[in-house]
Amino acid sequence: MAPSERRTGVGVDEFLTGGRLRRITRWGEPVMHAPTEPVTVFDEELHTLIRDMFTTMAESHGVGLAATQVGVGKALFVYDCPDADEIYRQGVVCNPVLSLPDGSERNFESAEEGCLSLPGAYQPLARPDFAVVTGQDAYGQPIRVEGTGLLARCLQHETDHLGGTVFGDRLSGRLRRKLYAQAQELAHLYPDDWPLSPKATSAVDKPASSPSA
């Protein structure tokens, strides 16, 4: 892998702090289930949104966050996520296009997946263990992100969001029912405007060992 494809957070440092916390939208809200509009203007308004998304993702302990998850129907996501080498990588991708390995090159890995828009619930989902996203950075410059490990999963999960797909759509009926039952059980911990209002604490709450995006 070329060094330029292994860069870590180049160009996003300015967006990692100083944002405003926003409410996270939930599955069932229309913006979560519709395709997004492309980003065409790379201005201060976009940069404010990106900054707010990084702050909201950090506050909610997520590894990725799509614009639809803060109620904005635009095609961009942010991530702060470890790859297969446990190296945390941060970035923003506007207008992402996902590429997955073909045929015999494709290895599926099953792991628990969670979504900040269905907080607290996790189910195993098999996804390719390598993914590439191309798109544009915060200034409209072309970028390419290669993901292994959890980052590969995150890139797929976030690109799905921008097409109006949530990971529950990819589960079997049985696992989807389990997922919803789990979310229902923990719903009282998450105020409707979470994370603006903090999560309640509970003795039965699952430790935050599984990441959400």
What kind and span of H or E run contains 125?
strand 122-128
Which of 42, 175 has the CB closer to Zn ion?
Answer: 175
Which of 7, 206 has the CB closer to Zn ion?
Answer: 206
Can you tell me the distance from the alpha carbon of 152 to that of 40, in angstroms, rounded to the nearest whole number? 26
Binders of Zn ion: how many residues, by CB under 5 A?
A: 2
CB of 157 to Zn ion, least distance (A): 6
The per-residue b/e assignment along 11-21, b for 16 or more CB within 10 angstroms, e otherwise, is ebeebbeebee
Can you tell me the distance from the alpha carbon of 25 to that of 2, in angstroms, rounded to the nearest whole number? 37
Which of 92, 213 has the CB closer to Zn ion?
Answer: 213
CB of 58 to Zn ion, least distance (A): 15
37 as an active site residue: the answer is no
Which residues are registered as beta bridge partners of 123? 113
Which residues are registered as beta bridge partners of 62? 212
- The footprint of Zn ion on residues 194-213 (CB under 5 A) is 213
Which residues are registered as beta bridge partners of 136? 94, 142
- The footprint of Zn ion on residues 161-180 (CB under 5 A) is none
CB of 138 to Zn ion, least distance (A): 21
Which residues are registered as beta bridge partners of 74? 37
**Contact between 155 and Zn ion (CB under 5 A)?**
no
CB of 49 to Zn ion, least distance (A): 17
Nearest residue to Zn ion, using CB?
115
Can you tell me the distance from the alpha carbon of 69 to that of 4, in angstroms, rounded to the nearest whole number? 30
Which of 50, 154 has the CB closer to Zn ion?
Answer: 154
Site string for Zn ion, 69-108 (x = CB under 5 A): ----------------------------------------
Q: Return the residue of 78, 94, 115, 155 that touches Zn ion, per CB under 5 A.
A: 115
Can you tell me the distance from the alpha carbon of 98 to that of 181, in angstroms, rounded to the nearest whole number? 31
CB of 67 to Zn ion, least distance (A): 12
Q: How many CB atoms lie within 10 A of CB 59?
A: 16
Contact 82, 151 (CB under 8 A): yes
* Site residues (vs Zn ion, CB under 5 A): 115, 213
Catalytic site positions: 158
